[in-house]
Amino acid sequence: MRRRDFLAAGAAGLGTTALAGCTTTKATTAPVIPGAPADALVQPIDAPMAPIKSSMDRVTRTIVGLRPFRIPGPRLETVKIGSKDVVHNYGHGGGGVSLSWGVAELAVSKIKEFGRRDIAVLGSGAIGLSTALDLQRSGADVTIYAKDFPPYTTSNVAGAMWHPVTLFERDQVSEETLTMLDIASRIAFSRFIRYANDPKYGIYWIRQFSLSDREMNTRYPYVGGDDLYPGMRRNYQNGPFGFKYYDAYYTLMIDSDIYMRALVNDFLSNGGKMVSQTFETEADLQSLPQTSIVNCMGLGSGKVFGDETVTPIRGQLSFLLPQNNIDYGYAGGFGERGTLYSFPRKTGILLGGSGDKGDWDMTPRQSEVERMVEGHAWLASRLT
Ligand SMILES: Cc1cc2nc3c(=O)[nH]c(=O)nc-3n(C[C@H](O)[C@H](O)[C@H](O)COP(=O)(O)OP(=O)(O)OC[C@H]3O[C@@H](n4cnc5c(N)ncnc54)[C@H](O)[C@@H]3O)c2cc1C
């Protein structure tokens, strides 16, 4: 079945859990959260937008992360390595936080086929923690083995706006992977919605815009299907900031530091164990006491498992002092100013826009800070 046929067929042929994920996420209207405080509700897409105050004296910090990009797309696959049954769950590029609950659920259904209770999860980012939590939910005893734990993971650096993007190279991805990503996206979104507006998890609704002076590309649907994104407008005219064209939709803003801390607390309070361990090669897996293993080591998987299709996409983010009147995010390519995006976290206004493939350098670049601060100030000036 082709990917579009699959979406049209409403997920026929899926297991019941995945099907539940698909059917619960068909939202086409603006989200209204019963009982939420007034300041947590999203504004209409066309509501006026306050400008962000982008200047160097408002920058509070700058961080760098390496997106775990895999050229043919994320890997979700069962393999045998020596005496171990291993499910690979890595390579989620620029959308790993967004996809996390979806790929976790799919990975758990694969590892449960082996029927063992004691399970190892390698990696403690968003993918490893959500996989571990879903395993616990299914009754497993879970130990996470990782080199680094939150807050020292790429997942803590993530933007993290809910929108799975930068997941594969279009001419290298299989129809099977595209279908898996659609299923995972729909499961994941339905799971994230349950955390919205709970301060413990740092997740809330925003309105999001893609901006351009050229017609927007509508050749491909958004990952998961356009109907997954509440309020979706594609290639509308007369956009905000004076741009000719725009896409707009409602989505979830995930404050990754708050969110990752909450996942660790949930995992530990469910009786999970965390062990500090670095794996150099796949032979190292043989020393683990568990026979069933889910590999969620992100970028590290490339080296450990000899997967040469894995490569970093370097991203740098700066944060401005918070503004409580900003309820929108935006992204676009702006000619000589390059790519820019901004997300409104309650802990600070996030400025981003870098994506350097194959670049392993973790040092913040002052020139990028200045480009972003100036570029976002220019965008803000177009609102007035
Ligand atoms: C600037 C930036 C912005 C982003 N924005 C977004 C966004 O808006 N939305 C979104 O969904 N995603 C976004 N992402 C992407 C997202 O961060 C990743 O896709 C996601 O974090 C991947 O999760 P992970 O758990 O696979 O990897 P990680 O968080 O990197 O976790 C990997 C784990 O594996 C462990 N590990 C690795 N190698 C080894 C080893 N050899 N031995 C033992 N342990 C090992 C690590 O220590 C860590 O615990 C962004 C990323 C960046 C850098």
Please report the DSSP string for 97-164 in residue order.
Answer: HHHHHHHHHHHHHHHGGG--SEEEEE--SHHHHHHHHHHHHTT-EEEEEES--TTSSHHHH---BS--
- CA 153–ligand 1 middle distance (angstroms): 6
Compute the distance between CA of residue 136 and CA of residue 271 in angstroms, rounded to an integer.
Answer: 9
- Please give the CATH topology (third level) of the domain spanning 17-381: D-Amino Acid Oxidase; Chain A, domain 2 (3.30.9)
- CA 284–ligand 1 middle distance (angstroms): 21
Q: Is 98 in the pocket of ligand 1 (CB under 6 A)?
A: yes
- Taking CA atoms only, the protein residue closest to ligand 1 atom 18 is 96
Q: Is 52 in the pocket of ligand 1 (CB under 6 A)?
A: no
Q: Is 315 in the pocket of ligand 1 (CB under 6 A)?
A: yes
Tokens standing for residue 176:
């099977």
What predicted TM-score, i.e. pTM, was given to this entire model? 0.91
> Which residue in 162, 208, 205 sits closest to 329, CA to CA?
208
Q: What is the pLDDT along the chain (384 residues), one digit of tens a residue?
A: 344 433 333 332 233 233 333 333 333 334 554 444 445 467 889 989 999 999 999 999 999 999 999 999 999 999 999 999 999 999 999 999 999 999 999 999 999 999 999 999 999 999 999 999 999 999 999 999 999 999 999 999 999 999 999 999 999 999 999 999 999 999 999 999 999 989 999 999 999 999 999 999 999 999 999 999 999 999 999 999 999 999 999 999 999 999 999 999 999 999 999 999 999 999 999 999 999 999 999 999 999 999 999 999 999 999 999 999 899 999 999 999 999 999 999 999 999 999 999 999 999 999 999 999 999 999 999 996
Compute the distance between CA of residue 62 and CA of residue 363 in angstroms, rounded to an integer.
Answer: 10
- Taking CA atoms only, the protein residue closest to ligand 1 atom 9 is 160
Burial annotation 251-265 (CB, 10 A radius, 16+ → b, else e): bbbbbbbbbbbbbbe
Model pLDDT, residue 27? 38
Model pLDDT, residue 31? 53
> Which residue in 290, 303, 306, 301 sits closest to 83, CA to CA?
290
Contact 256, 158 (CB under 8 A): yes
Longest alpha-carbon distance in the chain: 64
CA 157, distance to chain mean position in Å, is 11
Model pLDDT, residue 41? 62
Contact 278, 147 (CB under 8 A): yes
Contact 201, 259 (CB under 8 A): yes
- CA 358–ligand 1 middle distance (angstroms): 15
Compute the distance between CA of residue 371 and CA of residue 257 in angstroms, rounded to an integer.
Answer: 25
Give the SS3 label for residue 313.
strand
Model pLDDT, residue 345? 94
Compute the distance between CA of residue 212 and CA of residue 244 in angstroms, rounded to an integer.
Answer: 6
- Taking CA atoms only, the protein residue closest to ligand 1 atom 4 is 158
Mutate which of 152, 155, 361 for ligand 1 pocket (most atoms within 8 A of beta carbon): 155
Q: Is 91 in the pocket of ligand 1 (CB under 6 A)?
A: no
Q: Is 95 in the pocket of ligand 1 (CB under 6 A)?
A: yes
Q: Is 102 in the pocket of ligand 1 (CB under 6 A)?
A: no
Q: Is 126 in the pocket of ligand 1 (CB under 6 A)?
A: yes
Q: Is 254 in the pocket of ligand 1 (CB under 6 A)?
A: no
Give the SS3 label for residue 47.
coil
- CA 136–ligand 1 middle distance (angstroms): 21
- CA 108–ligand 1 middle distance (angstroms): 19
Q: Is 146 in the pocket of ligand 1 (CB under 6 A)?
A: yes
Domain boundaries, the chain: 17-381
Residue 149 CA: nearest ligand 1 atom is: 49
DSSP string, 219-272: SSPPTT-GGGSTT-EEEEES-GGG-SEEEEEEEEEE-HHHHHHHHHHHHHHTT-
Sequence-ordered list of residues with C-beta below 8 angstroms from that of 229, at least 6 positions apart, any chain: 163, 222, 249, 250, 251
User: Could you give phi then psi for residue 326, rounded to 5 degrees?
Assistant: -105, 115
- Taking CA atoms only, the protein residue closest to ligand 1 atom 25 is 125
- CA 114–ligand 1 middle distance (angstroms): 27
Model pLDDT, residue 330? 98
- Taking CA atoms only, the protein residue closest to ligand 1 atom 19 is 96
> Which residue in 145, 60, 33, 93 sits closest to 302, CA to CA?
93
Element (H, E) at 375: helix 366-381
- CA 66–ligand 1 middle distance (angstroms): 7
- Taking CA atoms only, the protein residue closest to ligand 1 atom 41 is 279
Model pLDDT, residue 76? 98
Q: Is 67 in the pocket of ligand 1 (CB under 6 A)?
A: yes
Q: Is 92 in the pocket of ligand 1 (CB under 6 A)?
A: yes
